[in-house]
Chains A and B, each alone.
Chain A
Amino acid sequence: MVATFVYGLINSAVLLLMALGFNLTFGISGVANFAYGAIYAVAGFFAWSLINTLHLPFALSAAIAIVVIGLAGVYLYRFILTRIRGLVISEVIATFAVSLVLLELLRYFGFIGSKYTLPVFVKGSVDFLDTYVDIQRLLIVGFAIVVLLALYLFTHHTRMGLAFRGIAQEEHTSLSLGINPERIASWSMGMGAALSALAAIVILPLGTITVDGGYDVLIDALSVCIVGGLGSTFGVVIASLIIGFAQQLTAMYLSSHWTMIVSLVALLLVLAMKPSGLLGHQKELEERV
């Protein structure tokens, strides 16, 4: 029972890390970044290449990967999304197409196999609440909490973070206060991408890096964000706890095949009963329904 709790918590932390970047980009700039999962997979393979072909130390490769992927996100916004801002269909099609291009290119260049793994930060396992847990898994929980706190401090106590929230609330007013919405939106895209890369580097050591993993991450991030109420960070935390524990219980009492279905069921239930998500606000309700 305690083991279930511990692993459920870890699973929730994984989901939270996966969803935070997507949620940030959507909450600030209103762009649903369907290339999010692709960015995750690309970050994993990029870090792998840095470590295994350039033989850089792990910490340095991770840092380079996060920064480069973040910049790539900024330029993805500047070159493609700026031109179609506000056209929802075009935004979705463009980011979705970028995602396909990235993932299928990876598949074409043969990034498939069990050799594609990232090293764990700290080897070994510890006894935590009478359960043997890999230290890496505990680190994921730690990272999730740290990222969450950092995001809170960033959006509430820095000038740039306040600008982020400004354009999310009222773009035209923030323009009159000297905030450039285009630039801030491109940064929010970059930060979303960087968070995705961070999640990849923290989570991927648990398994192999796969191309299809990119699609899975997108699905997980989407379900967690929709269930929680898009743009609401606290909602995302709650949703990842609910889905994380539900998945863990399903894996325990049914079979691990069914875990992917859990998020879909949660999604459909929430959308059918409370379309704005668990903690979505009235404003978001207007947009969605």
Chain B
Amino acid sequence: MGTPPAGSERASYRKERIARGIKARSDDIYALTSYSEMCYLLFPRLVPIVGIVVVAFFLPVYWKKVVLSTCTFAMLAVSWDFLSSCGMLSLGQALFFGLGSFVAGSLNHYLNLPVYVTIPAATVIGSILSTAILLPVIRLRGVYFAMVTLILPLMLMRLIEATKILGGTEGITRLSPLPNVWVEITVILAAMWVALFALRRFISSDYGLIFVSIRDNDRAVMASGINIYAFKAQALLIGSAICAFAGAFMAHAYQFTGMPVFAMDYSILPIAASVIGGIGTLAGPILGAFILVPLSEFLREFGPLRIVFYGLILVICVVALPEGIFHYLSRKYSEMERWVKIE
């Protein structure tokens, strides 16, 4: 039964998927009773966490910087996936990222605040600002929300260009750097894993269930007497805080903030990463970012073609592989397949 039958026989067989025994057992509290089940649970979580730290340790400095930007994009992608799990389709993660970056840059440049103040402050202020900007349109759904989020970062870019505030087209340079590359990697990796695991736990809690049900059927949630706009605002606060942190961090890592932080890259790459990794899994987007960003480093010599490349991947994945890698992997890990004869 293990191998698929060949030829004309195949038509009378079907593939059956069953959860592995260990999966069924370790879904419950029994996991604590045996090492094999604990390992089964820990393996997929510890391998990436430890693996990335170890690999980052041995990389040359240039690739350490690549790890930084990969983690940043991974955070943007997790945030995108969280917002889309709450029924908010954002085409403008660059808005949240850019606001965080600009707040951190301005606090550091104009008020001379040190790094350990600007990054937390920018996370909070950036997320509040983003939510406040989107508050008037929080009632919108689907395409309409997407349109507004697409327009906003482009408009802010124009606004800065036109009014020449906050450094104008030159941007703000020579922000204070983080102590060294080790601190940078530690901080961003910690932030990324915290964002991922905290959001996963949050989504699966009773409170988080409300967010997911807003995506599934917002009318039903309203009918249950829940104010969905308050919940959407909370989702925006959480999602944009993650992006604002990433923006503030990158402002200090590159010691620069300016119009490029509202660029299309920061909007499109998180979406591409989520689509490749698997929408709705939160871990999938991180996987997608860790595939796409290093890949785009190899494509750096092609310059603007990188965005073309992301776009093509997106179209192909959306049309041909809507499931995403993470769904596939988790299915292989927790389910077994066999061919059975159709009676």
Closest B residue to A105 using CB positions: B308
Task: Return the contact of A260 from the options B148, B158, B271, B319 (Cβ within 8 A).
Answer: B158
B 121-173 contacts with A by CB, 8 A: 136-137, 139-144, 146-148, 150-152, 154-155, 158-159, 161-163
- Is the interface on chain A under 10, 10 to 19, 20 to 34, or 35 or more residues? 35 or more
Residue A175 CB within 8 A of the other chain: no
Q: Complex formed: what's the CA distance from A96 to B307 in Å?
A: 12
B150 to A267, Cβ gap below 8 A? no
Which one of A122-130, A155-163, A218-226, A235-243 contacts B?
A218-226
Contact (Cβ within 8 A) B143 A88? yes
Binding stretch for chain B, among A113-121, A133-141, A268-276: A268-276
CA distance A95 to B279 in the complex (A): 18
By a CB distance below 8 angstroms, the chain A residues around B91 are 34, 92, 96
Write out the residue numbers on chain A whose beta carbons fall within 8 Å of the beta carbon of B279: 89
Among B275-312, those with CB < 8 Å from A are 275, 279, 302-305, 307-308, 310-312
B305 in complex: contacting residue of A104, A215, A260, A275, CB < 8 Å: A104
- B-chain residues with CB within 8 Å of residue A97 when the two chains form the complex: 268, 272, 310-312, 314-315, 318
| A167 on interface, CB distance cutoff 8 Å | no
Contact: A108 with B303, CB < 8 Å?
Answer: yes
Question: With A100-B264, A104-B305 in contact, do A93 and B140 touch (Cβ < 8 Å)?
Answer: no
Q: How far is the CA of A77 from the CA of B138 in the complex (A)?
A: 30
> When A and B form their complex, what is the total count of cross-chain residue pairs whose Cβ atoms lie within 8 Å?
126
For A32, give its contact among B137, B143, B307, B312 (CB under 8 Å): B143
Q: Which of A89, A267, A271, A288 has the most CB of B within 10 A?
A: A89
What residue in chain A is nearest B135 (Cβ atoms)?
Answer: A272
Q: Is the CB of A257 within 8 A of B315?
A: no
Which residue in chain A gives the minimum CB-CB distance to B143? Answer: A32
Q: Is the CB of A258 within 8 A of B155?
A: no
Give Cα A288 to B162, complex, Å: 32
Whether A272 touches B147, Cβ cut-off 8 Å, given contacts A100-B311, A101-B308, A260-B158, is no
Judged by a CB distance under 8 angstroms, whether B103 is at the interface is: no
Instruction: Give 7 A-B contacts (CB < 8 Å), ordered by A residue.
Output: A83-B319, A96-B314, A97-B312, A100-B310, A104-B311, A260-B155, A288-B144
Taking Cβ atoms with an 8 Å cutoff, the residues of B that contact A are 84, 89, 91, 136-137, 139-144, 146-148, 150-152, 154-155, 158-159, 161-163, 264, 268, 271-272, 275, 279, 302-305, 307-308, 310-312, 314-315, 318-319, 322
Binding site for B on A (CB under 8 A): 32, 34, 80, 83-84, 88-94, 96-101, 104-105, 107-108, 215, 218-219, 222-223, 226, 230, 255, 257-258, 260-261, 264, 267-268, 271-272, 275, 287-289
17 further A-B contacts with Cβ under 8 Å, apart from A104-B307, A222-B151, A268-B137, are A34-B150, A89-B89, A89-B142, A91-B143, A96-B268, A101-B311, A104-B304, A105-B305, A215-B154, A219-B154, A261-B155, A261-B158, A264-B151, A264-B152, A267-B151, A272-B136, A288-B141
